[in-house]
Amino acid sequence: MNQLIQIFLLGKNWFWKTRMLFLYCFLKLKKLFGFGDYFRQLHRVKIQFQGKNFDFYLKSILDFYLLREVFIDEHYAACKQIDPAPKVIFDMGSNIGASVIYFKLIFPEAIVYCFEPNPGCLPSLKANLQQFSQSVFIMDAAIAPESGETLFFANDQHWSASLFHRDCSTESIPVRALSLSDALIETGVSHIDLMKFDVEGAEYGIFESFQSFERVQHFIGEIHPIIVHKTVEDFLTYFPRHKVINLSSAGAHYHLHLAP
């Protein structure tokens, strides 16, 4: 019941609140009767967050959970501590764009580069970010330890898709890969104020092969030691120039904020 109330309250006004609740309950009923927990087409809703309105396009029940994580639980709230406000943001693992919208609402002047290889997420990502088309750039590529082509393992829960094969993986898809160093070259970016990462275990290889940590101010994201059979301490050794501002457990993974 608490989840229903939270989803209802996200709507911009009574019409959109009711629409949000209807779409959520409709998908729950579809799933209950074995018809899947997704729509065939994207459905637009209007959401209000801290007095700011934005459009959001929903397709599956998971999209509602992402909205709750980002705009109710505020998993990226640590970015509000950054001063001065970030001008350049890298969002690695943008999924359907909820985190990018959050950053744009907090830092409306920022330019955001989004990296997402999952073809199942790209239509939603592009629809959700079209409202920021002048300052958000979508790269349909995976950030990986090396550039080239790599296999991406998709699954029905799009937020768990990964460069690693897992028990829940449903198919492997060849995708374009960029090392973080090559991503900087391709975007023409020389300095990053905020780098967000949510790449389901790939963060270990990505940062182990990265050499230009002095070009990044803040890192905010998730680390998944269980996926790669390593420890949190192993991950932190990759960041000789940064210190831990926040490290908190979230079950099987950790939330992390690093700053100079």
Give pLDDT tens digits for 112-121: 999 999 999 9
Q: pLDDT (tens digit, 9 = 90+) per residue, 88-102?
A: 999 999 999 999 999
- Burial class of residue 100 (count of CB atoms within 10 Å of its CB; 0-12, 13-18, 19+): buried
Ramachandran assignment for 203, one of left (phi > 0), alpha (psi -120 to 50 degrees), beta (any other): alpha
What confidence score (pLDDT) does residue 188 get?
A: 97
Q: pLDDT (tens digit, 9 = 90+) per residue, 130-168?
A: 999 899 999 999 999 999 999 998 877 676 778 887 766
| CA separation for the pair 190, 179 (Å, rounded) | 15
Displacement of CA 159 from its chain's centroid (Å):
8
Cβ atoms within 10 Å of 83's Cβ, excluding its own? 6
Q: pLDDT (tens digit, 9 = 90+) per residue, 196-205?
A: 999 999 999 9
What confidence score (pLDDT) does residue 169 get?
A: 58
What confidence score (pLDDT) does residue 159 get?
A: 66
pLDDT value at 218 more than 80: yes
Question: Where in the chain are all domains bearing CATH 3.40.50.150?
Answer: 76-259
Query: Phi, psi (5° rounding) for residue 163?
Result: -75, -5
| CA separation for the pair 80, 143 (Å, rounded) | 25
Query: Phi, psi (5° rounding) for residue 246?
Result: -150, 135
Region 76-259: CATH code: 3.40.50.150
Residues of the chain above pLDDT 90, percent: 85
Token digits of residue 224: 């998944």
Task: Name the band, by pLDDT with cuts 50, 70 and 90, for residue 107.
Answer: very high
Contact criterion met (CB below 8 Å) for 257 and 245: yes
Cβ atoms within 10 Å of 26's Cβ, excluding its own? 14
What confidence score (pLDDT) does residue 9 get?
A: 86
What confidence score (pLDDT) does residue 1 get?
A: 67
| CA separation for the pair 206, 141 (Å, rounded) | 13
110 versus 159: the higher-pLDDT residue is 110
What confidence score (pLDDT) does residue 156 get?
A: 72
Buried b (16+ CB within 10 A) or exposed e, 203-241: bbbbbeebeebeebbbbbbbbbbebbeeeeeebbebbee
How much is the mean pLDDT over the chain? Answer: 93
Among 7-11, 139-143, 184-188, which is the least confidently predicted range? 7-11
pTM of the full predicted structure? 0.95
Q: Strands 254-259 and 148-154, how do they pair?
A: unpaired
Ramachandran assignment for 36, one of left (phi > 0), alpha (psi -120 to 50 degrees), beta (any other): left
Q: pLDDT (tens digit, 9 = 90+) per residue, 28-71?
A: 999 999 999 999 999 999 999 999 999 999 999 999 999 999 99
pLDDT value at 8 more than 90: no
